[in-house]
Structure 1
Amino acid sequence: MKLEDDYKNKYSDRLFEALFAVVTGLIGGFFMFVAVWFGRAILKHGKYDSGSVVLFMIIFFISWWFLKLTYKLAFHKCEHLLSNFELRVTGWFFILFVPAMLAMSLFNHEWPNLKELIPCTPGVIYGFYALKVVQKRAGSAGLSDKTC
């Protein structure tokens, strides 16, 4: 009975990974389409201001991130989807995003729009958990980074 249950659990886990890979692939493909479309618009109009180039790079980075997750889910048996470095980057990004937006609003002599920042606060909690995972991995496995 145990062997049968293990097979079912392994099969259902792989099915879940495949479905999640399809979802992340669609999201990554959408962002790549938007990045290519936006990049062509920048080249066509010849406006290379810093804001549009930074926005293009952010959209391209998001698409790369989702497509990387798709690749890891679909073709590899990974122990961790995100490396310690990637977890640190996303953790610190989400932790510092809300305070940075508040500081930028105050720097521009504007009152911060809390309606836009309140939905971003769960990201701060995610950031703290991501950094906790990095600490836990570093404590249990030494300095090695166990990824694909």
Structure 2
Amino acid sequence: MTERMDLGSLAGEAYKAMAGLDRFVAASTLAKPLLELVCLRASQINGCVYCVDMHSSDAKRAGESDARLHAVAVWREAPFFTRQERAALAFTEAATRLSTTDVTDEVWEQAAAHFTQQELAALVVAVATINAWNRMGVATRMTPESYK
């Protein structure tokens, strides 16, 4: 796999705008470990090797266990996740797979039961942002940092 271009240097203003979305989400009251799980799951679904590498590494540095990281792809069957994390992961999957599914009322209500309105807004922005990053990473075949 060869990286196609350095989008950051060619579209710096776009990267700055995306970083602004990341700062908004980071400033929310959503827990950093939860955000890493959300970003990891969306990145797995989208096949973004750069973002899978980054978010699994960031989650590990933040204290996430190997067992939980390995189980994110099969979170529905794994016993390692809280109800709040499950609600966030269900929302992430639904909002990431818009071409094949919908964010149903059930998924929305489950998330709303575990997050404040402000947190839910941040979760919506977090999922939208990681999906945009994934699309940039996949399209340009960004090389994972751990491989460089």
Q: Which has the larger radius of gyration?
A: 1
Whose helix proportion is higher, 1 or 2? 1
Higher relative contact order (CA 8 A, sep 6+): 2
**What is the TM-score with the length of structure 2 in the denominator?**
0.28
**What is the TM-score with the length of structure 1 in the denominator?**
0.28
